[in-house]
Every structure is written in C-alpha cells, then in structure tokens.
Amino acid sequence: MEGVEYRYSTDWIHEFESEPHWRLYWRQQKLMRDLVSRDDRVLEIGVGTGFAANYLRSKGVFVSTLDIDAGKQPDIVANVALYDFPTAYAAILAFEVFEHMPYDDFCSVLPRLATAAQRYVFLGVPRNRKALVGLRVKLPKLKAKSLEWKVNKGRIDEPYHVWEVDHGGITVDSLEQEFARHRFQIHRRDEAFDRLFYALKCPPMDQKDT
C-alpha cells in the first residue's frame, strides 16, 4: 500500500542458517502433518530459502509460491496485502511473513485467505518474549521435562519485524479473536522458539466472506 513500509531481506537466504532455524522448518512441517496430502494444490506465501516448498514437493504436493521480493524467484511476485487470490487452493501456508507488514494489513488479508483456502491456513507469528532461565528435569520412570520462565522483552529487537504478539497491545487473545471473527477454527496450535504456530480450519463454503 502507498506510504507503507514492508520490511524484508533477500540476503539471508544465501547464508548458512542456524540450528534453531532448521528446527523451525521441522515445526512447520509437523503443523501440517496429515493435513496436506499428495496431489494437493497449495500456495506458500513467503518463499524464504525454498525449504518448505521443496519439502512438500518431495511428498507429491503441488506448490505455488508468492512473494513481494522478486529476488527470491517466486511463481507469483505480489504484495499479499493487495493480492486478490484469483485461484483457490487446498491450503495456504505463510510462515515468517505477516510480522513484516502492519498488523492492520495482516488483519485485512485474513478474510481473503479464508476465501482462497479450501481446507486450512497454516501460519506462524513471533511472540515478544525471552527466556530468563531454563531447566531440564529427569525423574525416575518419567520422561524428561523442560521448563522455562519467560518474560516480555518490552521492545522488538528484530529490525524486519513490524509487530509481534505480546507487544503494542497485540495479545494471544486478540489474535485468536481475529481468527474467530473470520470464522476460522483453531485446529492445531503449537509454540516453540518464541513463535506461535497455527493450523486454522477454514469456514465452510456457505460461511465464507464474499
């Protein structure tokens, strides 16, 4: 949109990624497990390194990609905040994407996602927290348990993030109320590495926004 800054970078996709970032890829695929099948047509918003799309393609899923950054060589070069989604997909995935645009723009995209996705929308967003201390406990005959005490950071450290959950009045509750407003149902929710992951079940055809 005119006058709005969308923060993104291409350079990082050419660098060796950290172990936590590779674990994020695993979390993304786990979120979609059994919900995306061979021969499904899906759209990935935000190409990144191409890992998610390539992994799904290796499982027989037909993946198209959309990104505002032509340097990432997506199938569709477009700003998702303005895109009208002329094609329907079985599922739409968008990880590490929406925090790079104003929150109001993200909210305006949700009803279009609900219309364009036939079954699920998968997304991940950052949570503005940091761990103060971590503890791993192993008791006899029980599985090891990891405990963390976290507090809000109070500021956004990542220069490419415009917003994060638990900062600036955006809470988990307000985010999930926004999902409900567009008739999404939370099918799965996970949290790891200060990210919230959602598998949102799309509303049936007779309840989709038009």
123: domain CATH number?
A: 3.40.50.150
Average pLDDT, integer, range 26-35:
96
Distance in angstroms (rounded) separating the CA atoms of residues 140 and 197: 32
78 occurs within a structural domain? yes
89 occurs within a structural domain? yes
Using one digit for the tens of pLDDT, what is the confidence trace for 63-121?
A: 999 999 998 999 999 999 999 999 999 999 999 999 999 999 999 999 999 999 999 99
* Tally of domains within the chain: 1
3 occurs within a structural domain? no
Q: Which of 11-15, 27-31, 134-138 has the lowest mean pLDDT?
A: 134-138
Q: Are 152 and 128 in contact (CB under 8 A)?
A: yes
63 occurs within a structural domain? yes
Using one digit for the tens of pLDDT, what is the confidence trace for 193-202?
A: 899 999 999 9
Average pLDDT, integer, range 148-173:
88
- Residue 3: its pLDDT value, please? 61
4 occurs within a structural domain? no
Which uninterrupted H or E stretch holds 183? Answer: none
Q: Which of 22-26, 31-35, 162-166 has the lowest mean pLDDT?
A: 22-26
Which of 88, 105, 96 lies closest to 72 in space, CA to CA? 96
> What range defines the domain where residue 170 resides?
11-207
Q: How confident is the model at residue 170 (pLDDT cuts 50, 70, 90)?
A: very high
